[in-house]
Amino acid sequence: MAHMGGPMKQAATAVLAFILLIAGCAGGEQAEPVPEIPPGLVEVTIEAMDFTMPDEIPSGWTTFRTTNNSAMVHMGVVERMPEGYGLREQQDQVAPVFQEGMNLIIQGDMDGAMAIFGELPEWFGRIVFLGGPGLLAPGQVTETSAYLEPGTYILECYVKTDGVFHSYNPAPEMDGMIAQFTVTAEPSGAQEPTPSIEIAISNETGMEITGEPTAGEHQVAVHFTDQAVHEHFLGHDVHLVRLTPETDQDALVAWMNWSLPAGLQTPAPAVFLGGTNELPAGGTAYFKATLEPGEYAWIAEVPSADQKAMLQRFTVK
């Protein structure tokens, strides 16, 4: 039993060498660098009409990298919920009210729709909109950053298909295009992004842009100088859209108003490349824009964006 030789000894030597190799690696000097997820990065995947994302994320600067694998345009509004409210309450008390109002708008009954919107619960007015991925065409990826405090949040898409909001699902026991997540007290440790283009947006002056939209990758800062309730009850934001000679600018402007029957209804009249949804006054959000030579516009999802200087066309050479 005490005697070990031949193949057994060779095996024992090999095991010892392996242990020493592992120990050497653990020392760190020769270890291969492991690709790390940058702090604050949250992957969001859209398949059909579903968001897939983590249930829990750290607080602080947060970048949602959103990949649209579906065949439709979508977006994701980040909403911090009032204490005690979440996805369930949104689906039971808010989504059906908006859908019923939309149904009446489609029937031409504006007074009826307004009466229905008056039935929104008191707590709906206490939701804080905190950016999130802007309108995103099929196959596109966008990165959108905002600062998030701990709390309960939802990510909501209110694009419409056949007159039905994506965030509303008429099927019993099924939720619409909405995800709930918790932002924990643990800090993400991420730094605020450094912009190469800055857009100040205000209800008084529209969009004021600094920085050159050259070909290549840009980090776009959106400074919300103020915020306002526009005719569609929502605030202003900034989306990036690629224009072609066939793009009908009036149709594009009209499409950015969810309260019209054809507004925010799939398919979109142009190719959307992301952006940021609205933030309260004084806030700054960021999004990445990868620009190739061509025609583009920054546009807010508000009624009459062109008359509010919230549609700014530009050319990338």
Binding residues for Cu ion, rule: CB under 5 A, are 74, 157, 159, 166, 177
Quick one: 65 or 74, whose CB is closer to Cu ion? 74
For the record, the structure tokens of 205 come out as 């002056």
Question: To the nearest whole angstrom, how small is the minimum distance from the Cβ of residue 72 to Cu ion?
Answer: 6
Question: To the nearest whole angstrom, how small is the minimum distance from the Cβ of residue 133 to Cu ion?
Answer: 11
Quick one: 60 or 76, whose CB is closer to Cu ion? 76
Quick one: 166 or 288, whose CB is closer to Cu ion? 166
Question: To the nearest whole angstrom, how small is the minimum distance from the Cβ of residue 310 to Cu ion?
Answer: 22
Q: Which of 302, 78, 137, 128 is nearest to 207 (CA)?
A: 302
Assess contact for 217 and 290: CB atoms under 8 A: yes
Question: To the nearest whole angstrom, how small is the minimum distance from the Cβ of residue 68 to Cu ion?
Answer: 9
- What is the rounded distance in angstroms from the CA atom of residue 45 to the CA atom of residue 23? 39
Quick one: 143 or 156, whose CB is closer to Cu ion? 156
Residue 63 CA from chain centroid, whole number: 9
Cβ neighbour number for residue 131 with a 10 Å cutoff? 29
Quick one: 177 or 279, whose CB is closer to Cu ion? 177
First to last CA, the chain: 81
- What is the rounded distance in angstroms from the CA atom of residue 118 to the CA atom of residue 110? 12
Question: To the nearest whole angstrom, how small is the minimum distance from the Cβ of residue 314 to Cu ion?
Answer: 27
Quick one: 65 or 166, whose CB is closer to Cu ion? 166
- What is the rounded distance in angstroms from the CA atom of residue 220 to the CA atom of residue 288? 6
Question: To the nearest whole angstrom, how small is the minimum distance from the Cβ of residue 74 to Cu ion?
Answer: 3
Question: Of how many residues is the chain composed?
Answer: 317
Question: Which residue in this structure is represented by tokens 């690629």?
Answer: 242
Question: To the nearest whole angstrom, how small is the minimum distance from the Cβ of residue 265 to Cu ion?
Answer: 11
Residue 292 CA from chain centroid, whole number: 22
Question: To the nearest whole angstrom, how small is the minimum distance from the Cβ of residue 75 to Cu ion?
Answer: 7
Quick one: 179 or 299, whose CB is closer to Cu ion? 179
Question: To the nearest whole angstrom, how small is the minimum distance from the Cβ of residue 76 to Cu ion?
Answer: 8
Quick one: 165 or 224, whose CB is closer to Cu ion? 165
Long-range own/partner contacts, residues 101-104 (CB < 8 A, 24 or more apart): 102/160, 102/163, 102/164, 102/165, 103/163
Q: What's the 3-state SS for 88-152?
A: HHHHHHHHHHHHHHHHHHHCCCHHHHHHHHCCCCHHHHHCEECCCECCECCCCEEEEEEEECCEE
Quick one: 249 or 266, whose CB is closer to Cu ion? 266
Q: Which of 212, 173, 37, 2 is nearest to 92 (CA)?
A: 173
